[in-house]
Amino acid sequence: MKRFSFSHWICLALPLLFVPFFLTGCSSAEDRTGKKQVCVSFYLLADLAQMIAGDKMEIQCVMPPGTDVHSWEPSPRKVMEISRADAFLFNGTGLETWTEKILPQLQKRKIPIFEAAHSVQLGGTHECSHGHAHDTHTECSHGHEHDTHSECSHGHAHDTHSECSHGHAGPDPHIWLSIRNMERILTDLTRFFAELEPENAEYFRANLEKALLQCRELDAEFQTVTQSLTSRKLVVAHRAFGYLCRDYGLEQIGLEGYSAFSDPSPAQMVKIIEFIRTNQLPVIYAASLESTKGADAIARETGVKVGILHPLGSLTQEQIDRGANYFSVMRENLEALKLLGTAADQEQNTTPAPETAPAQDAKPEI
């Protein structure tokens, strides 16, 4: 996980020191637009917020399209935009390390904050860029234990339990890749928005029901496909799919750590190649926003296919323009999982071809 220098932290924090002076005598975002302005740390959470808020709030994603959520950091101007917002939403679990310095200032200004990780049961083992593994045993926010040190929207205080000497936190941050986690996050986000605007609570709840219906339909599709897979091991270049694997009884085998900042070592390459050959796996998965170099090299050695599993931390502007969203991209991921092979494929391959009658002009055997 990326670490910032002291000078960079100063750049992040300094604009917040002057916020009271800039805002004195100025109208708020709500006064200017007639709607509350909600700043969101990255694409996926902004997509969820838009599903619930509809046209009642202005949802602004501070991270540009096509950006790596693990390494992006805001400019001082972006920090100022967040400080002027009526609410701030972020993922947590160390995904956005840049929030560590600005959250205390936002809390002092009593800006409502929503941390999505507090809605779900956390899990996974975070492998940091130094090769250290971190196990986590955290659970959801309603009266349970958490791996963070901030105070969530439910009023619970949380302590950090898993951090190595390099400062990398433990839980897998890719909570949105579980559709069931999404249902919990959407539900808590609806409560959060209803507290911000009680007059629109019924509108938000109606949008929630529509979103939950889409989640349940998608979950049912995943259950149908994953139950029929002939291989249940996912070899991935970006180990982001632990929650998805947990939901559907799959096993994730990672080539790199969660952030995928570096290519796999030669020792890792050898192990993965041997694993693929031993288990006769048909495919290795790369992430669409990251290099497929490691996956391509292994595919050449083993003859397997290279599939794409999108981690959904960010979409490109082209994807957004053509209407892509969480549900459409997750369905693309579902299609990619079929490369593992399904029972229907196996049945088709083992069914003998029907005998064909000899051509009319064929000569009889002598």
On whether residue 240 sits in a domain, the answer given is yes
Q: Is there a single domain that holds both residue 209 and residue 245?
A: no
Q: Is there a single domain that holds both residue 197 and residue 335?
A: no
On whether residue 355 sits in a domain, the answer given is no
On whether residue 356 sits in a domain, the answer given is no
**Residue numbers of the chain with a pLDDT score lower than 70:** 1-33, 125-169, 255-264, 289-291, 343-366
- DSSP for residue 157: B
Q: Cα dist. 192→197, 307, 326 in Å?
A: 9, 38, 21
Residue type, 80: M
Which residue among 149, 181, 214 closes a domain?
214
Q: Which residue has the tokens 């975002």?
A: 29
On whether residue 290 sits in a domain, the answer given is yes
Q: Is there a single domain that holds both residue 240 and residue 181?
A: no
Domain of 323?
227-342
Contact in structure between 285 and 295 (CB atoms under 8 Å): yes
Q: Kindly report the number of other CB atoms within 10 A of residue 142's CB atom.
A: 12
CATH for 114: 3.40.50.1980
On whether residue 50 sits in a domain, the answer given is yes
Contact in structure between 336 and 308 (CB atoms under 8 Å): yes
Treating both helix axes as pointing N-terminal to C-terminal, what angle do 326-337 and 201-227 enclose, rounded to 10 degrees? 10
Angle at 23 between CA 21 and CA 28, to 5 degrees: 175
Q: Is there a single domain that holds both residue 240 and residue 196?
A: no
* 96, two tokens: 């956005």
Short-list 69, 21, 26, CA closest to 47: 69
Contact in structure between 266 and 244 (CB atoms under 8 Å): no
Q: Write down the pLDDT at residue 289.
A: 54
The whole model's pTM is what?
A: 0.76
